[in-house]
Amino acid sequence: MSIPHFRYIAPQTLEEAIGLLRMAKESGKRARVLAGGTDLMVQLRAHEITPDVVIDISGIKRLSRVDRMGNEIQIGPLVTHASLATLDLIREYAGVLSEAARTVGSPQIRNLGTLGGNIVNASPAADTIPALVILDARLALRGPEGERILPITDFFKGPYQTVIEKDELLTGVIIPLPSLNGRAVFLKLARRKAVAIARMNLACMLYYDRQKEIFEWVRLCVGSSTPKPVRMTQAEKVLVGNAYTDDVLQEAGRAAAEQMVALSGFRSSTAYKKPVVGDLVIRAVHLAVEKG
């Protein structure tokens, strides 16, 4: 099937790109940003979107940088999954993001697909998002009026819905360096081992104090199971301050399952997902503790 006709522009600077987005917005034209195109091309081919203009930002060099700035690392939105999986800076300070990126699609998809595209596309199954949530990431958005920065959990309105304005670009992902000696785990459950959309994915980071025999802190986020990404706070609460025992783990699993159902209601997939999410939380916590 042929893809719809559109104007294609490839600006080389951020200012140019934002100018183009503003112009499109003001003239009532539908514009779409293209980064790696691994989501966009699929939507174009299916005629799910019919933009008047496609703005290819892949030539804007400063958007593919990764920098350490004080207590934070800043990741440009054009950084690909392949880079996230291999860059030392990410592996060292945001290992769970590396692990998540490694599970995306296939080598071809990881070479093209970007972090920014994964976030802005806002699929509930996006693999990097649970990792970013537990890393407490913030997003920098830039429009004609300047920049705003918001926590990643405030970015999503629902499946494929975000707060980004038509004339805004995602320009950076900011991750605070973990202050505590946490251990992180990323689990992806899919129907096959590659090129597979997550049936569920889960990022978990925690610190278990072996002397005191308690969980000091825990961050858990499960993707593909709630309308928008959230921390599994109820399960976190069960764990924090408690010891690593079967009972506590089971209780945490139950809490996660209940929170998932409370947030997403009963669906045809719930019969499977409810028990599995609990067990996956237990598995992730177990693996994180064993790592430490």
Ligand X SMILES: Cc1cc2nc3c(=O)[nH]c(=O)nc-3n(C[C@H](O)[C@H](O)[C@H](O)COP(=O)(O)OP(=O)(O)OC[C@H]3O[C@@H](n4cnc5c(N)ncnc54)[C@H](O)[C@@H]3O)c2cc1C
Structure tokens of 264?
Answer: 């997403």
Least distance CB 56 / another protein (angstroms):
23
Pick 29 or 286: Cβ nearer ligand X: 29
**Contact residues for ligand X, defined by CB under 6 A:** 32-40, 42, 57, 77, 104-105, 109, 112-114, 116-118, 120-121, 126-127, 169-170, 195
Find out whether 112 and 210 touch, Cβ atoms under 8 Å: no
Nearest to 97 by CA among 119, 65, 124, 71: 119
2 makes contact, choosing from ligand X, another protein, none, with CB < 5 to 8 Å by partner type, with another protein
Distance CA 127, CA 123 (A): 9
Least distance CB 75 / another protein (angstroms):
27
Least distance CB 192 / another protein (angstroms):
5
Least distance CB 251 / ligand X (angstroms):
30
Structure tokens of 255?
Answer: 């809490």
**Contact residues for another protein, defined by CB under 8 A:** 1-2, 42, 106, 189, 191-196, 199, 271-272, 275-276, 279-280, 282-283, 286-287
Distance CA 106, CA 82 (A): 10
The length of the chain is 292
Find out whether 276 and 224 touch, Cβ atoms under 8 Å: no
Structure tokens of 188?
Answer: 């992806």
1 makes contact, choosing from ligand X, another protein, none, with CB < 5 to 8 Å by partner type, with another protein
> What Cα–Cα distance (Å) separates residue 141 from each residue in 159, 163, 257?
19, 10, 33
282 makes contact, choosing from another protein, ligand X, none, with CB < 5 to 8 Å by partner type, with another protein
Pick 91 or 283: Cβ nearer another protein: 283
